[in-house]
A = this chain, B = another copy of it.
Amino acid sequence: MRIAVLGTGPVGQAVAAGLAGLGHQVTVGTRDVEATMARTEPDMFGNPPFRQWRQQHPGIGAGTLADAAAGAELVVNATNGTGSVAALEAAGEENLAGKVLIDIANLLDFSRGMPPSLLVSDTDSLAEQIQRRFPAARVVKTLNTVNAYLMVDPGQLAGGDHTVFVCGDDAAAKAQVTGLLRSFGWSDVIDLGDITTARGPEMYVSLWLRIYGLGSPMFNIKVIR
């Protein structure tokens, strides 16, 4: 499948590489291709610049947000949550219409130091904000509850015996995303319901950050029932 991954940070890189590894035709979208490719410094977390990653993944395309989205059958929002709506506007409402839009971003405020705090409260979610702004996109919230490396390779932890969630208004879109998640190795995919249920996985990130604070990001929760 032709997939656009919007965002060139560690999450975008991991998801793009994971999708390409499954045989998908992946294009990474960035606001300013030239500026992104010109960067030679590591990011604020010490991750290598996109240019270097690109050289290691020659099969993955790169283009503007709009070019990537226009050519894709499915779009992944892996941009920084605080810039997601603007990035999707730059991708173009017409390039998202009718398409499955996987939202894996979190709305975090790093301005008060670590851990960051959530910029949404429990009466809204980033996924809902995106669905409201792009009503013709078929938004599915998923994967925002785990580290980028686990997103595309859950088997790295306990053989994949842990849980991921999907939330969205479009049942067919959720079924397609669930298939994609299973192809990554996710065995326990819980459909929480409509797009408003994305508040749950988004609020959970507050707990994720505290557990992460104890040591490694290579953990997840399993819903025992």
Residues of A within 8 A of B (CB): 112, 117-118, 121-123, 157-158, 161-163, 165, 190, 192-193, 197, 199-211, 213-216, 218-225
Would you list 8 pairs from A and B whose C-beta atoms are within 8 A, ordered by A residue? A117-B199, A121-B121, A122-B206, A157-B225, A161-B224, A203-B206, A204-B207, A219-B224
B residues within 8 A CB of A112?
A: 123
Q: Among the listed B123, B157, B200, which residue makes an inter-chain contact with A224, where contact means beta carbons less than 8 Å apart?
A: B157
Task: Kindly report which residue of chain B lies nearest to residue A160, judged by CB atoms.
Answer: B224
In angstroms, how far is the closest chain B Cβ from the Cβ of A144? 11
B222 and A211 contact, CB distance less than 8 A: no
B219 and A222 contact, CB distance less than 8 A: no
Question: Given that A118-B121, A161-B224, A221-B223 are known contacts, is A192 also in contact with B211, CB under 8 Å in the complex?
Answer: yes
In the assembly, how many copies of this chain are there?
2
In angstroms, how far is the closest chain B Cβ from the Cβ of A221? 4
B residues within 8 A CB of A163?
A: 221
In angstroms, how far is the closest chain B Cβ from the Cβ of A119? 8
B210 and A118 contact, CB distance less than 8 A: no
In angstroms, how far is the closest chain B Cβ from the Cβ of A165? 8
B211 and A223 contact, CB distance less than 8 A: yes
B residues within 8 A CB of A224?
A: 157-158, 161-162, 219-222
